[in-house]
Amino acid sequence: MNTQARRARFEELAVLLMEPLRRFLARRTDPDTAQDVLSETLLVCWRRLDEVPEDRLPWAYGVARHCLANAERARRRQGRLAARILALDPPAAAVAEPVELPDEHLHIALGRLGTLDAEIVRLWAWEDLGPAQIAAALELTPNAVSIRLHRARGKLRAELRKLGAGAGHDVPEEGRRP
Q: Residue range 70-80: average pLDDT?
A: 88
pLDDT of residue 86: 65
4 and 55 both lie in a single domain = yes
The C-alpha atoms of residue 99 and residue 3 are separated, in whole angstroms, by 45
Long-range (24+ apart) CB contacts under 8 A made by 164-170 are: 164/105, 165/105, 165/106, 165/109
155 occurs within a structural domain = yes
Give the pLDDT confidence of 92-118 residue by residue, as tens digits.
555 455 544 447 788 888 889 989 999
Q: Which of 93, 125, 141 is the last residue of a domain?
A: 93
The CB density around residue 171, as the number of other CB atoms within 10 Å, is 5
- Number of domains present in the structure of the chain: 2
173 occurs within a structural domain = no
89 occurs within a structural domain = yes
Show the DSSP H helices in the chain as ranges.
3-26, 31-47, 56-88, 104-112, 115-125, 131-138, 142-162
Torsion angle (degrees, nearest 10) of CA 82, 41, 148, 29: 40
1 and 86 both lie in a single domain = yes
Q: Which of 55, 77, 93 is the last residue of a domain?
A: 93
Q: Indicate which CATH number applies to the domain containing 128.
A: 1.10.10.10
The C-alpha atoms of residue 130 and residue 145 are separated, in whole angstroms, by 9
pLDDT of residue 101: 41
Q: Indicate which CATH number applies to the domain containing 71.
A: 1.10.1740.10
176 occurs within a structural domain = no
The C-alpha atoms of residue 4 and residue 24 are separated, in whole angstroms, by 29
116 and 77 both lie in a single domain = no
68 and 125 both lie in a single domain = no
Residue 67 belongs to domain spanning: 1-93
Residue (of 69, 27, 23) closest to 44 by Cα position: 69
Sorting pLDDT into bands at 50, 70 and 90, what band is 149? very high
60 occurs within a structural domain = yes
pLDDT of residue 173: 47
2 and 89 both lie in a single domain = yes
Q: Which of 73, 93, 113 is the last residue of a domain?
A: 93
